[in-house]
Every structure is written in structure tokens, then in C-alpha cells.
Amino acid sequence: MSVEEDLLSIREYLPAWIEIVLEGPALDEYCAELIEVFQCSGAELLSDTSVRLFRNCLAFSELEELVARLSVQANVELLSLSLVEKRDWVADSEENWEPFEVGSFQLFPVLERKCSKYPANALFVRPGMGFGTGRHPTTAMLLECISAFQFSPNQSVLDVGTGSGILGLAAYRSAQIHGQRGEPYILGLDIDADALLNACSNRQLNGASSRSFPLIQGELDCLQIEFDIIFANLYSELLKTLSSELERCLRPSGTLLLSGILQDQREEVEENFVAKNFLVVERKDREGWCALSLRKESTVMSECIQKGKEL
């Protein structure tokens, strides 16, 4: 069967877990990156040139978009799609990556945690059931932004679509690195129960508590409080859809870090948030992706700026 035939045969069974078989040169060297790029729950190397990815697809449109993205991925051929039973692919995923540095952090897979002494900036991530290992540019750019923050104990942080919990845990570790006596309040929010289980496991591995880093399954509209800092590593259309809710959940003068934006979609994402009283503070670009650091302006300040432009 062709990929098109595979796609149609799967349609009536969605939502379901999908097995995706890819072929290409040296796939064994960036298996973990493939997991993150395509937001998969795990991978299994078939050889150094072929890999099997596993992903939960909720709707046919989501699967069609995934196939379209895979079809244009450089040096990768999409061989087949098929239904697969859900299982824990974490152990397979752990074998495919080694420790590495991003910003001020050193990231270690669970497989590498063999001794009790690690550097103070160590982050332990168990990949597989939640998006975010730190290798993909979208996550790496936000980790670099978080590295530059000076988190204080009285600050509140929201990690939207927390996935593996890596961004929230980076905020937690950053506060420790900079010698803060207390911990910032960090909330991880995700609609995926499996991702939250992964984040919970990573929270425990990194010594964070459910008090300093609670995890909630739900959407932004379930929150009735404001935060000082918000992370959202999603994708352009979803960021635009959530822009009003993100604005509502952020305090005036608060910081919003966005990622998952393709470079050719950056301007329209920026325009969407600028129209909601956000100021672009910093842009990062890497490998076709963009991350933004925004500051929420007060309504009075925004009106002054608009009047200044008119004069």
C-alpha cells in the first residue's frame, strides 16, 4: 500500500496511536530530534538508516498535516503509516540520546543517571511520553531565554503545553543555580494525560515538588489567576488562537516566551500579539524556527504609544 492508501485506511479509526516508518541517511544520529520535531511519544531504530516513530493522532486533519510535514522533511522518506497499540516507548527513546548542553543547563537522559553527583545545572529528562527533550531548536531557544532569567521566590510561572515539563523544570533549576532561597511557583498545564505523567516523572527526577511545580490537565480557560511569566512552545496557529487567553493570564509588565513558530509565520504571530498590547523584546531564529520574548504593556501605556504614533 502507498502512504496515501495508508492514510485513508486509518481515517475511520482515529483517534488512535500511529506507527510511522521513515528511511534516510544517518537517522540513528538524530532519532531524538525526530521525536521532538514531530511530537512523537517514542521511537525505535530499525537500522542506522530507518526508524519507527509512534504518535497519538486525535483527528484526521492532524494526521494529514503530519504527513505533509514528513513529506518535505529533508533527506527523509516516509515509507508507511499503520495503527499500533499504545505502549510505553520511553525505554527505547532513552537509548538514542546522550547528555548535552543548552544555555546554562546540562541535560541528561535518565539512562545516564548512574551516580549521585551531578553539576548544579543538571536537568534530567525522561523522553518519550511528552514533547520536549531540549534538542529541537524550538525548545533549545526557550531554554536559552530561561537561562538568562533571574527567577525570584515570589514569582509565578505558567508552562502552557508543558509536555515533558522541561521548561518548567528549567525555571525551577535556574532559581537554584542563582542561589534563590525560595522557589518560584511554576504551574505546568497540558491537555494530554500521558504527557503529564511524563512531566510528573521528570519532576521527581529533578527534585521538584508538587507544591513548587504542580501539574494540571486542562486548557487555559480553566485558570483564574495571573502569572508573571508564561512559556508556550506550541505552533503558530495555536498561539494565535490562544493569544487572548495568554494575555488574560499574564500580569501587566509580565513576560511571555513563545516558540514553535516557523520563520515565515513570525510576522503574523507578532502582529496578533502586538494587537493585544504586547511589545516584542527579543527574537531568536534557528534552523527555520523562531522564538519570541514579549512583554505585556498596560492598557494606558499601549494607548500612549498608539497616540505617539499618530502625532
- Same domain (yes/no): 168, 299: yes
Same domain, residue pair 15 and 71: yes
101 occurs within a structural domain: no
Q: Which residue, of 37, 65, 89, is where some domain finishes?
A: 89
Residues 144 and 291 in one domain: yes
Residue 117 lies in a domain: no
Task: Please report whether residue 119 resides in a domain.
Answer: no
For residue 25, the model assigns a pLDDT of 80
Residues 279 and 142 in one domain: yes
Q: Which domain holds residue 13?
A: 3-89
Alpha carbons 260 and 287: distance in angstroms, whole number: 12
- CATH code assigned at 77: 3.30.70
- Pair 136, 84 in one domain: no
Do residues 196 and 300 share a domain?
yes
CA distance 257 to 246: 11
Q: Which of 232, 8, 206, 185 has its CA nearest to residue 119?
A: 206
- Domain-embedded: residue 104: no
Are 74 and 141 members of one domain?
Answer: no
Judgement on whether residues 281 and 186 belong to the same structural domain of the protein? yes
Based on the fold, state whether residues 152 and 293 are members of the same structural domain: yes
Domain end call among 59, 89, 119:
89
Note whether 252 and 135 are same-domain residues.
yes
Q: Is residue 170 part of a domain?
A: yes
The pLDDT tens digits along the chain (311 residues) read 677 788 778 877 777 888 888 888 867 656 666 766 677 766 777 776 888 887 877 677 777 777 887 777 767 888 888 888 765 555 555 555 678 888 889 888 775 555 567 888 899 887 654 456 777 888 999 999 999 888 888 899 999 999 889 999 999 998 887 766 667 899 999 988 888 988 998 999 898 999 989 999 999 999 999 999 999 998 888 999 999 999 999 999 999 999 989 888 999 999 999 999 999 999 999 988 899 999 999 754 444 444 444 33
Question: Where is the domain boundary, 30, 56, 89?
Answer: 89
Q: Are residues 291 and 189 part of one domain? A: yes
Residue 55 lies in a domain: yes
| CATH code of the domain in which 281 resides | 3.40.50.150
pLDDT, residue 26, reads 67
Task: Tell whether 82 and 136 lie within a shared domain.
Answer: no
Place of cell 502582529: 271
Q: Please state the domain count of the chain.
A: 2
